[in-house]
A and B are shown apart, each in its own frame.
Chain A
């Protein structure tokens, strides 16, 4: 309108700009919220690096996978979480089934994570690989006598095997992989044989099993390899001493390969910014992040071509069971029941 003086017009323009700026301000300060079952020390440094690179603030809550999943469900569509990170595939399968995840894909993610380490429907992606290996007493066991998980049920191992409680998720997923490979009947027989070979009632954590092997209480333990890595690089002298008395063996190299599980991540259905969330997950799967898991916690990269840490390199390469990890998640409850029936405490 002509009646508007230029001064008034410019004032209106300034005001409009100010309003526009205010409206876009939240977009400038971008934020992502992460629920993580990987504990703080094993994820926060990477998230900080992501923030430094992108300017996106990342907020973190850590906790047990199932508890975080329950929180996501209770908060429903208003949940502030954009990403759920877990330390095994089973929780991700559960989250997918509960409908709290969003199917998202990108060419980078598809290329970074092999098909068997991600959700077939694109709900989640593996970040790192955790292998369940055998640890044996160097003085008492000739590694040539070791071969497969199945062979540990043979009578020659009576009273010689240490393993933690069947409440441990990685024992559950190992049995799930056995169910997938051998079927329920053979798995039940194997479990009975294995439990009969236990040197003591299951107790303690994986490091305790390794210490028991080192002390000669048992000859072979089934543990996640990164615990041995943690002991080799420990600040505690006793742990280093124990680690030096044991060797690591990758079972089932002549057939399906060593059992592995993943830690992984998915975008939540409640996320208001799924594209940003995908950007973060992509960041967590890129080569430098993959190396970080190896160097910080001795976990393996999801892809073969990423150089691993010096320590992991000394353990040699191994063939991992190529089963779709989502299958393990689906067989988890069945595995727990089979262990209950075999009286694996």
Chain B
């Protein structure tokens, strides 16, 4: 009798918790559906083609994919962490400008930067041709690195993917407790030691979040490796599908890729779980240390070099191509393409952000193996090539539509046709599947910096989940949320394969226009829509960057 009132009091919150858990799992599973469709191919019969693949090409696929990941991992870490550290904690000439200019390469699709560098650097390009004519060399008389190679692919991908690490790590460094760093310094640790032993470990969740995004994108890349003639897992998937006509075998290859990513992620999480880094105080903001003399010049020079290589040079090449073709490319359709690209990117990035916030917070508040597993599977779409994700969307949507149609025919004698397939709903769903990982990683890395004791304190005073999220987390997460929004926005803007196959009739985007021309090797005509992607990607970058800086300042 004495227990009754207590349990009656517990009831609503327990229900509440169950609703959160159920909502979490349901949402995660819905988003995970395409990935599960691909993964389920692993449980279907294996065709005789597998023997052929194992005998001939699989080793190549594996070795090249691993080498590519290793190379891009090192490259993006080097570029991303160093630039993030410099911009967050040091003061040098041009820092303000460079800190957003460093994001520019992100707006370039990897295959476009690959085309521009090939145009400049390959044997018949201007650089080598000039060398030959100056020194009167012929083919084979001199050494010049081959741009279309594994090494070239690593460089191209590193140049456009480092901003993931840069952006997420910069937020982490900026919000790091200045007190911890000052304590290290006052204990006699030099700048380097402070960086490696204090700052870097504290920023590890953020860096790893950025790195895993870069690596997943690397695994999913098709355009660059295909053009460079590097046989990776992805080219293998498409070769098996297009060349051999075996979609199921291709899906199985993609399934193994997913398995591999899943294990990688689990290992990383397990190693990270032993360490937890929460900011003890947000009051002591890092004071940027002014750099002088050679070190200041070095910092400026390094950032300028990266912006030049990752953005300026390719953009100039695009401009020079576009200068011969802009009249034909700027037709009446152009504004329409612009509008389509912008609105899709905005809608998809907002949905991704809301879902990431819901899943990220839910997982933090109600941890559990089921929830964690479901969320992780939901976030794996980023490692899968867009076309494969599209197939994972096409199949269940088509089946659902046809079932609904059959049901409506028997019940009402009316055909509903296809309700979802071939609509923008299907396309936006696919974007969410593919890019949720980006916003989730960013939001989770932000959440991990907030001490759980803060939540507990708020809840012990009677605050609801929603209120904790709204009043405590959201203000603290501001930087991470804007980052998540920005990353997905730009990603959708340049997204191609999913758009291509899932779009409704007569619906084009800038990326589709770019790709159609580029795939026909009409680079001059492709240059203008490619430039437009870059420029449109630029505006929100600048806007959000200013906002981020303002936010950081107001938190000081």
Q: Are A and B bound to each other? A: yes
Question: At the interface, yes or no: B524 with Cβ under 8 Å from chain A?
Answer: yes
Residues of B within 8 A of A2 (CB): none
Please determine whether B501 and A345 come into contact, CB atoms closer than 8 angstroms. Answer: no
Residues of A within 8 A of B415 (CB): 78
Task: Known pairs A61-B506, A74-B395, A203-B148; list 14 more (Cβ under 8 Å).
Answer: A39-B520, A61-B422, A61-B504, A62-B516, A66-B247, A68-B501, A78-B415, A79-B418, A204-B148, A205-B227, A208-B122, A212-B123, A214-B124, A333-B49
Chain A interface size, as a band, is: 35 or more
A-B contact pairs, 7 of them (CB 8 A): A75-B394, A80-B418, A167-B226, A201-B229, A204-B122, A208-B521, A235-B524
- Per the 8 Å Cβ criterion, residues 60-93 of A in contact with B are 60-68, 70-71, 73-80, 90
Please determine whether A74 and B398 come into contact, CB atoms closer than 8 angstroms. Answer: yes
- Per the 8 Å Cβ criterion, residues 29-76 of A in contact with B are 33, 39-42, 59-68, 70-71, 73-76
Question: At the interface, yes or no: B129 with Cβ under 8 Å from chain A?
Answer: yes
Please determine whether A41 and B243 come into contact, CB atoms closer than 8 angstroms. Answer: no
Question: At the interface, yes or no: B340 with Cβ under 8 Å from chain A?
Answer: no
Please determine whether A336 and B239 come into contact, CB atoms closer than 8 angstroms. Answer: yes
CB A218 to nearest CB in B, in angstroms, measures 9
Residues of A within 8 A of B118 (CB): 204, 208
Among residues of A, the one whose C-beta sits closest to the C-beta of B241 is A66
Question: At the interface, yes or no: A172 with Cβ under 8 Å from chain B?
Answer: yes
Please determine whether B242 and A215 come into contact, CB atoms closer than 8 angstroms. Answer: no
Question: At the interface, yes or no: B130 with Cβ under 8 Å from chain A?
Answer: no
CB B227 to nearest CB in A, in angstroms, measures 7
Given contacts A39-B520, A59-B505, A60-B506, contact A77 B500 (CB under 8 A): no
Please determine whether B245 and A217 come into contact, CB atoms closer than 8 angstroms. Answer: no
User: How far apart sit A234 and B522, CA to CA, in the bound complex (Å)?
Assistant: 9
Residues of B within 8 A of A341 (CB): 56
Question: At the interface, yes or no: A257 with Cβ under 8 Å from chain B?
Answer: no
Please determine whether A63 and B501 come into contact, CB atoms closer than 8 angstroms. Answer: yes
- Per the 8 Å Cβ criterion, residues 496-544 of B in contact with A are 497, 500-508, 512, 516-517, 519-524
Given contacts A76-B402, A235-B324, contact A71 B394 (CB under 8 A): yes
Given contacts A41-B516, A216-B138, A341-B56, contact A234 B524 (CB under 8 A): yes
Question: At the interface, yes or no: B421 with Cβ under 8 Å from chain A?
Answer: yes
Please determine whether B524 and A67 come into contact, CB atoms closer than 8 angstroms. Answer: no
Which of B118, B231, B508 gathers most chain A CB within 10 Å?
A: B231
Tell me the count of chain B residues lying within 8 A, CB to CB, of chain A.
68
Residues of A within 8 A of B335 (CB): none
Question: At the interface, yes or no: B139 with Cβ under 8 Å from chain A?
Answer: yes
Given contacts A80-B422, A234-B524, contact A74 B394 (CB under 8 A): yes
Please determine whether A63 and B422 come into contact, CB atoms closer than 8 angstroms. Answer: no
Contact partner, A169, options B228, B242, B324, Cβ 8 Å: B242
Question: At the interface, yes or no: A337 with Cβ under 8 Å from chain B?
Answer: yes
User: How far apart sit A211 and B500, CA to CA, in the bound complex (Å)?
Assistant: 29
User: How far apart sit A199 and B239, CA to CA, in the bound complex (Å)?
Assistant: 23
Contact partner, B245, options A75, A94, A234, A238, Cβ 8 Å: A94
Question: At the interface, yes or no: B447 with Cβ under 8 Å from chain A?
Answer: no
User: How far apart sit A165 and B229, CA to CA, in the bound complex (Å)?
Assistant: 6
Please determine whether A227 and B500 come into contact, CB atoms closer than 8 angstroms. Answer: no
Given contacts A227-B521, A230-B521, contact A217 B243 (CB under 8 A): no
CB A268 to nearest CB in B, in angstroms, measures 13
Among residues of B, the one whose C-beta sits closest to the C-beta of A65 is B242
Residues of A within 8 A of B522 (CB): 230
Question: At the interface, yes or no: A242 with Cβ under 8 Å from chain B?
Answer: yes
Question: At the interface, yes or no: A207 with Cβ under 8 Å from chain B?
Answer: yes
Please determine whether A165 and B226 come into contact, CB atoms closer than 8 angstroms. Answer: yes
